[in-house]
Structure 1
Amino acid sequence: MPNSFASIENSLSNRSSVSLARASLFKFLGLLAGVFVLASGSLVYLANDLDHTEQVESAFYTKKAVQSLEKSVRATVKDYAFWGETYKYLHVQVDPDWAYVRQNLGPSLYPDFGFRGVFVVSDDNRTVYSVVEGKLSSVAAADWLKQSIAPILEKAREGEQAETPITAFIDIAGVPALVAAAAITPGTDPTVEADARPASVLIFVDFLDSAKLQVMGQDFGVDGLHVGTPEERDATYFLPLGENGAAGSLRWSPSRPGLRLLGVGLPLIGIAALLVCLMTWAILRRTTASALALDASYTSLHRSQDALAISEARFRDVVEAISDWVWEIDAQGRFTYLSDRFDDVTGLSRIAWIGAPIDDLLGTEPGSLTQWLSIPNRRQDISLQCRYIDSAGRERITRISARNMSDTGFRGTATDVTEEVEARRRIEFLSQHDALTGLPNRTRLQEFLDGKLKALPTPEQPLVMLCLDLDRFKPVNDLLGHAAGDLVLNEVSSCLAECVRHGDLVARVGGDEFVLILTDVSSQDEVEALCRRLIESVERPIEIDQQQVFVSASIGIAMAPNDACEAAELLRYADIALYEAKSAGRNTWRFYAGDMNTRIIERRRLENDLRFAIKDGQLRLHFQPRYRIADGRMVGAEALVRWQHPERGLIPPDTFIPIAEESGLILSLSNWVINTACDCASRWPQNLFVSVNLSPTEFKRGDLVERIQKALVDSAIDPARVELEVTESVMLEDATGALELMRTLKRLGVRIAMDDFGTGYSSLSYLRAFPFDGLKIDRSFLSRLDQSEDDRAIIQAIVGLGRALALTVTAEGIETAEQLSLLKTVSCDEGQGYFLSRPLDSDAFDALAGVGEIQKA
């Protein structure tokens, strides 16, 4: 019995020990389960917080992208609408030639800015000018937009006085479109007077198609930016376009860093929990088998402690994966913990920084980091950007998130955002700088100029503006391509930046136009020395594809406060001085003077008068007879245009021909001369021809052959009785194109002569390669016959050359009997000049043509 009692007692004791062991183990297991649940909950919370932060940031950048597009379009429409030239040619009158043909407001807006539609709506709300996808059109704006534009016109005209454009998003056939509109005003142009009519409105339309949205998304780091579909109406991340989303909405695909974190962290926690369960099962079996042995209890306890240590280690691994690095500080702001990722991200020693103040590592602009952490009632979900120096000595930027640990300190995470901040800085830089050259653009120039003018420069220390434009740059683009032109612009930009001092500004404001602002110049001589240095620097040869390219520069100069104190006026005066420099032969500089503006206004008035004169019949055609020198018989005449101005009287060609060439009126003027000359010559005797001068500009237009052919058909004149005179500059600019065009003209049956022979660079090579019928000796050789034996030899050589190439040689400017005698001696074919006959009007020449003998002036 005692043994039985002892056995029962031992059995009860064993059962009590097993129960006690199991109870302790289950309590420990419950504790671990709580730890796993807490870790999982923290991980899920952190993942949701990361996803939410990413969604908020992507929505912010999407909104910034749309705002940036609106700002850019408003600035573009403002530049064109508040411009005196636009007011003059698209409001006072509608001139498609100025707007479209001369590309002031025409086809380039589509490839350069992406505007699908450009419209001008007049004061009576009629669409008077339309360009759709770069092509001139007659469609009305409302018809093309498929909706009423009355609200847009009303808002645009409301901003007329403040020169404020408006933008609006609308829906066009299911595609969102950004419409920018502005009232057309004279701007700051003093030469344009506003009339009493309501303002015309300039409208630009830009479609937000998939290609446009893809570029916007790439620029602002937003993935999958697209126009929302009806199936996506319940999406939580979208941006409505227009009022209440009337133009649709933008959707995007924000990244899910939290989801990726859960994909890594939850499996690790699950594995840790599974291991703990397996270990618990093993411990229970062990405890049951050895419940009577005290050492077995201790062994089970140690194993439980080991399992807990393993679990804590795995938990630390999860912590290392949830952010870039984790930190803890005590109440004094000293590091008590830094995760292993600290070494990898910063390159610094984690051990060395334990115990160091957090303010020694991380700095903020508002103040110290510990002061920010100690702000009462600080929101826990707000992060702060800090800066630190990594192991390579580079400044890095990190975003700090922190939570209070009661009175023991703070715990938080640090995420490196250096690349993100640099991307934002790049966007801000591009908004104020030229994308090609990196120089400041118009926006930055305006800010810089306004700031310097507010400092009130004095006559002793003026603010100097140089407006610089490249000469001979267009042939580089035309002959070598735009890539070569970009290289030239970059080289010139570097040269200009090297020539100015620190504190000055060099800005690119147009295709080949630059503006320099000088802030520390005390004398005009110093400005001229800088201009000379700038031109010499620009004139250096530039190597492109193993060939040298040469450009030069013209410079206009205006100074504040001597010339103007307002930025717009200073820019305009510098531009006027630049025009004077170009008129003076280019490759030079000019200071602004008050009479320059007067001359420009006078030139514009003369240009307008010439435009009217061509249409109103104020032009007259005179004919200077040409005679065969051998027998004195008339062979033809050169047609010379004259302008009989109703107020100014007879204006010489050397005054209005350059104006016609610069303004584009030369084609209309030349058309009138060719048609009138052919019509007059058709009434002459069949043995007489008419000679007409062609401008080099006409060779750049593709309709020269059609114009000549039409004049021949309309007048019914024999093409062999028509001679076209061209100068050598035609071949210099585009020899291949000029040769092909001349061959086409020859197929019409007309004659071609080289004018002003002997004044060019390589006339002999052109005579051999081009289909010329004759050449004209420049009058400068005849004028010096009595002073230079060399000129006599040159004339004799030219006549011999013409005879060898079977060309008719004509001498211009015969003014004396001695000159005529010499030309007979060298057997020159034909001649013209005041000694033989002055230019005659049509009636006088008709009378002379019936005589046909040499008439001395």
Structure 2
Amino acid sequence: MFGHKMRPGANWKLIFQTICMAFLSPGGSVGKHSGTPLASQTGEAGDVPCRAFLLAFGHQVVDEALARRVRAAQIGAIARLTPFSILANVASAIAATPVFLQFVPTSYVVAWLIAIGGFLAYTTHQWFGATRAPIETASRRSLSRAVRHATILSALWSLLPLAAFALGDSTGIWIASAVTTAMICGGAFTLATVPQAAFRWVAILYLSSLVALTLHSSASTWPLFFLLTSYTVVVIGSVASTGWLFASHFVAEAELDERGELIALLMNEFEEKDSDWTWEADSKGNLRNVSERFLHASGRTRLELHAMRMIDLAYSLDEADARTAVAELEMMTGRQEAFRDIVIGVDVNGEARWWSLAARPVFDEQGAFSGYRGVASDITESRRASALVTHLAEHDSLTGIGNRSWFLRRAEMLLERQKQAGRSTLTLFLIDLDNFKVVNDTSGHPAGDELLKQVASRFAELGKGGTALARFGGDEFAVLGQFVSEEAAGAFAQELIRAARKPFRIGLRDFAVGATIGFARFRDKRDAIDDLLRKADIALYKAKEGGRGRALAFECEMEREVRERRELEADLREAFEAGGLNVDFQPIVDARSGRVISSEVLVRWLHPTRGEIPPATFIPIAEHAGLIQPLGSWILRKACAAAAQCPELESVAVNLSAVQFMDPNLVDQILSVLAETGFPPERLVLEITEAIFTRDFRSAADKLEKLRDLGIQIALDDFGTGYSSLSYLRQFKFDKIKIDESFVAEIGERSDSLAIISAIIALAHNLGLEVTAEGVERQFQVDALRTLGCDTMQGYYFGKPDANPMKIVRIRKEDWDGRAPSTAPRKSASLKSAS
């Protein structure tokens, strides 16, 4: 916040003394009691964090005007919480009184209540008086009154634990402990902006609690003593931190005001001084009549300047920009013409200075040229400021490397050179960091910013000045370089990936991320930089699609796939809006009776030219295009409306995609559909996959809990194909699991498939879950699954899906029992449901 940090290790003595003084003598001077001057303890007078910490505790470390403002703000913060504090005290007194009347004399309780009530009434009166006009300044006496107020009220409340532990029963002790704990925490945080008052409050209640524990001493009181002490230390630390942060705002604001005044003063002083000077030259160009200002600006003696020309001064700085100006100055003086705003570079005592020159030729009475007379101005600072502004406009403020606009300008320039030279070595890389969001989520944005800096440093080191590196935003980087072949470019991309894989040390932790890269080479002379960017982006997308942590070069086939994908996306939008999608119901039969008891909803898309497109193809497109939410709601509504007309079906199963499940309004949308269609939630089964847990574990768990509370059943689909299904079965309550069809298809082909299916069924039954086998297409598969104890089965063996659920429930066991294997198609996997 201030460019400084409060370092407890470096200032522990000052912090400890200040906190101790707040307990013993609120408002007393640390330096006075320690014998060490305050300035020496805080390091420098301008040590903002230390001054803010001391100011929070009422020490006079700033001017009186600022101190009075801070005190007023501290007291005002307490005043804003006073009504709530009064209500809390009244509620606590009401709760404690009936209990304590059982073992404390009534007269004592009444006296205590009168004292509490009277003090709260006085506090209320004071609060009303303070609200009439805002508190703008406050004296140290105001803080002392706050400390006294906290002392008196905490002393009254300290009687509770003493009376309870000395005279009361277990109920009284419990009530007193609860009230005292609440008072310690609530009062401390209410008074946190005035740490002295908060500490006095905590100290009295803590000491009274210790005495009470001593009166009721037993083996069971030691844990209470430990907990009481631990919580008190935490409260003290929190109060100290809160008070410091509160005062830091005012100290920082005052420091900024002081800096603003200083800058204004310096600017005024600068404007009063003339930064320009006149100069003259004779007909040969030699300087003459040199002023004192000229001497100071040039860093040379008068004799040296009289022996030089302005051109000689311009030659003194060996820089490319200076050389350009020298040629212009020589041309204008050779023609004896007037000139202005010619900027030359001059070496002044080893420092590069920049002068702006303006002059007009001088002629004598006969009209002969006799020299120049002009004005020079030192514009070094403005030039540096301009260069800084240009740098900031072209570079990323966090990492210091180029930004997107600079990169694109640089790329256009290099691409133009490539076209003129007839070369094709230019290669553009797009880099996306992997797992960067995890760093931000677990360690905060400062850690993420530091990681980006280190990544940029590693990438820049690999380029070694031969490549252009930029940050496009977030965790995206771009590199532009020249490579003799695609293999060389690929090798460089692998170096970038290896650099990103190495752990990054941030603070005391190591972070492992990684990078995925797509790159494209300049091959077509018609390509512009936007074309290279588009191709590299396509390659990056394909690299992510195939698995992160790798590099992929652009190929023409990728562009065709992207074009087809975009065409499919447009067709899908049109089909959805025009009602070109259909919903079918696939029967799920009871393995024992053969009766159709449930159905899974299948979404079908019959494309007018491409034919039937499986959900595995168009559902990812819908997710990427943002269509999955309306499409999923439509499927659910259609399924519930149709199933509501078919009471013979015990349930209907609808798949939810991972993207759809992450919608924060998912539960409300499902409730709306159920209410609209009149479909009972107990008959709805939602099928999900493990992918939902990898996106947002906590959110997924909350939604599953809410859905199950509504009576909706949850099925874990494609069980056995993920890497952590067992852990999810332990952590979440499912109703069903579905064995993936890949295991069912291998029955009779691989012996281990039966073993896996048997283990899954046994595991599910031990957990009280129902098991459904998908993709059943053969009689021997039915027999094997029955033998292994599978509960329900689905597949083309039991009949084709139908848009009318009434038709599928008419399928009976005799319709398919003993059916020949050839009657069931082998490629039912292409029709697997998704939504």
TM-score, scaled to structure 2: 0.56
Give the deviation of 1:538 after TM superposition.
Answer: 3.1
Map of 1:388 onto structure 2: 347
Aligned to 2:803: 842
Tell me the amino acid that sits aligned with residue 500 of structure 1.
G
Contact 1:326/1:412 (<8 A) preserved: yes
Structure 2 counterpart of 1:367:
326
User: Which residue pairs with 1:692 in the alignment?
Assistant: 654
Q: Which residue of 1 aligns with 2:520?
A: 557
**1:257-336 equivalences in 2 (<5 Å):** 257=269, 260=272, 333=287
Q: What secondary structure does 2:813 align onto?
A: coil
Whole-angstrom CA distance in 2 between matches of 1:643 and 1:677:
16
Q: Which residue of 2 aligns with 1:797?
A: 759
Amino acid at match of 1:557: A
Q: In structure 2, do the counterparts of structure 1 residues 494 and 784 end up closer, same or farther at CA, with 3 Å as the change threshold?
A: farther
Shift of 1:708: 0.7
**CA–CA distance in structure 1, aligned partners of residues 607 and 361 of structure 2:** 89
Q: Does 1:776 align with 2:738?
A: yes
Bigger share in helix: 2
Residue of structure 1 in register with 2:460 after alignment: 497
Secondary structure of residue in 1 paired with 2:716: strand
Residues 360 and 374 in structure 2, CA contact (< 8 A), matched pair in contact too: yes
Aligned to 2:700: 738
Q: CA deviation at 1:496?
A: 3.3
8 Å Cα contact 1:774-1:808 kept in structure 2: yes
User: Residue 763 of structure 2 aligns to which amino acid in structure 1?
Assistant: L
Alignment gaps of 5+ in structure 1: 1-217, 225-251, 262-321
Gaps of 5+ in 2: 1-255, 365-369, 817-823, 825-835
Deviation at 1:663, TM superposition (A): 0.7
In the superposition, relative to structure 1, how do residues 448 and 399 fare at CA in structure 2: closer, same or farther (>3 Å)? closer
Cα deviation code 1:682-714 (max 9, x no counterpart): 122355201111011113322211211111112
1:1-16 correspondence to structure 2 within 5 Å: none
Deviations 1:747-802 (A, max 9, x none): 22211111122222332222222232222222233334445554444333332332
Other structure's SS at 1:560 match: coil
Candidates 774, 777, 787, aligned match of 1:812: 774
Alignment of 1:580-591 (within 5 A): 580-591=542-553
Rounded to whole Å, the distance in 2 between the matches of 1:447 and 1:258 is 37
Task: Describe the shift of the 1:398–1:467 C-alpha distance in structure 2 as closer, same or farther (beyond 3 A).
Answer: same
Alpha-carbon distance in structure 1 between the residues aligned to 2:422 and 2:313: 51
Partner of 1:748: 710
Check the 8 A contact 2:660/2:666 in 1, yes or no: yes
Work out the CA distance in 1 between the residues paired with 2:728 and 2:388: 53
From the superposition, tell whether residues 789 and 480 of structure 1 become closer, same or farther in structure 2 (CA, over 3 Å): farther
1:725 pairs with one of 687, 690, 702: 687
Provide the residue aligned with 1:531 in structure 2.
Answer: 493
The amino acid across from 2:459 in the alignment is L
The aligned counterpart of 2:109 is: none
Kept in 1, the 8 Å contact 2:332–2:338? The answer is no
Matched residues, number: 543
Pairing of 1:143-292 with structure 2 (within 5 A): 255-257=267-269, 260=272
Opposite residue 758 of structure 1, the aligned amino acid is: G
Choose the corresponding residue for 1:603, options 552, 565, 588: 565
State the AA in 2 paired with 1:367: V
Which secondary structure state, in structure 2, belongs to the residue aligned with residue 749 of structure 1? coil
Q: Check the 8 A contact 1:758/1:777 in 2, yes or no.
A: yes
Q: 1:616 to 1:332 in 2, by over 3 A?
A: closer
Match of 1:641 in 2: 603
CA contact (8 A) 1:556 1:579 kept: no
Which whole-Å CA distance do the structure 2 matches of 1:459 and 1:782 have between them? Answer: 59
1:305-344 CA deviation, whole Å, 9 max, x = no partner? xxxxxxxxxxxxxxxxx769999999965998868995xx
How far apart are 1:722 and its partner, in Å? 0.4
State the Cα deviation string for residues 623-644 of structure 1 (Å, max 9, x = none): 2222333443333111111112
**What's the counterpart of residue 622 of structure 1?**
584
Give the whole-Å Cα distance in 2 for the aligned partners of 1:647 and 1:622. 21
Measured after TM superposition, the shift of residue 852 of structure 1 is 4.8
Counterpart code for 2:665 = D
Partner in structure 1 of residue 725 of structure 2: 763
1:783-835 CA distances to partner (integer Å, 9 max, x unpaired)? 34445554444333332332332222222233344443443344333332334
Which amino acid is 2:326 matched to?
G
5 Å-filtered alignment, 1:13-24, equals none
Is the 8 Å Cα contact of residues 557 and 578 (structure 1) preserved in structure 2?
no
Q: Deviations over 1:617-676 (max 9, x none)?
A: 211222222233344333311111111223322211112111111111111211111111
Q: In the aligned structure 2, how far is the partner of 1:451 from the partner of 1:643?
A: 48
> Hey, what's the Cα distance between the residues in 1 that align with 2:429 and 2:360?
57
Structure 2 distance, partners of 1:478, 1:659, is: 28
Q: Does 1:434 align with 2:393?
A: no
Quote how far apart the aligned CAs of 1:491 are. Answer: 3.8
Secondary structure in 2 aligned to 1:440? coil
- Paired AA for residue 422 in structure 1: R
- Residue 661 of structure 1 is matched in structure 2 by 623
Q: Displacement of 1:529 after TM fit?
A: 2.0
Q: 1:423 and 1:487, CA in 2 relative to 1: closer, same or farther beyond 3 A?
A: same
Q: 2:535: which partner in 1?
A: 573
SS at match of 1:455: helix
User: Considering only aligned residues, what root-mean-square deviation do their CA atoms show, in Å?
Assistant: 4.7
Q: Partners in 2 of 1:661 and 1:375 — Cα distance?
A: 72
Cα deviation for residue 614 of structure 1 reads: 1.3
What is the rounded CA distance, in whole Å, between the counterparts of 2:767 and 2:591 in structure 1? 19
Whether the aligned pair in 2 keeps the contact of 1:402 and 1:411 (CA below 8 Å) is yes
Partner SS for 1:842: coil
d(CA) in 2 for partners of 1:337 and 1:350? 11
Distance 1:371 1:637 in 2: 92
CA, structure 1 residues 382+461, in 2 after alignment: closer, same or farther (shift >3 Å)? closer
- Cα offset for 1:526? 1.7
Match of 1:672 among 620, 628, 634: 634
SS at match of 1:690: strand
Aligned to 1:508: 471
**Residue number in structure 2 paired with 1:30:** none
Residue 326 of structure 2: SS of its match in structure 1? coil
CA distance in 2 between partners of 1:691 and 1:580 (Å): 33
Report the equivalent of 1:421. 383
Cα 1:369/1:473, change in 2 over 3 Å: closer
User: Which deviates further from its counterpart, 601-610 or 463-472?
Assistant: 463-472
* Counterpart position of 1:451: 413
Query: CA 1:610/1:411 → structure 2, altered by over 3 Å: closer, same or farther?
Result: closer
- 1:824 and 2:778 aligned: no
Over 3 Å counting, the alpha-carbon distance change for 1:256 and 1:798 in structure 2 is: same
Structure 2 CA distance for aligned equivalents of residues 803 and 664 of structure 1: 39
Indicate conservation of the 8 Å contact 1:401/1:414, yes or no.
Answer: yes
TM-score for both structures, normalised by structure 1: 0.54
* Code of the aligned partner of 1:517: L
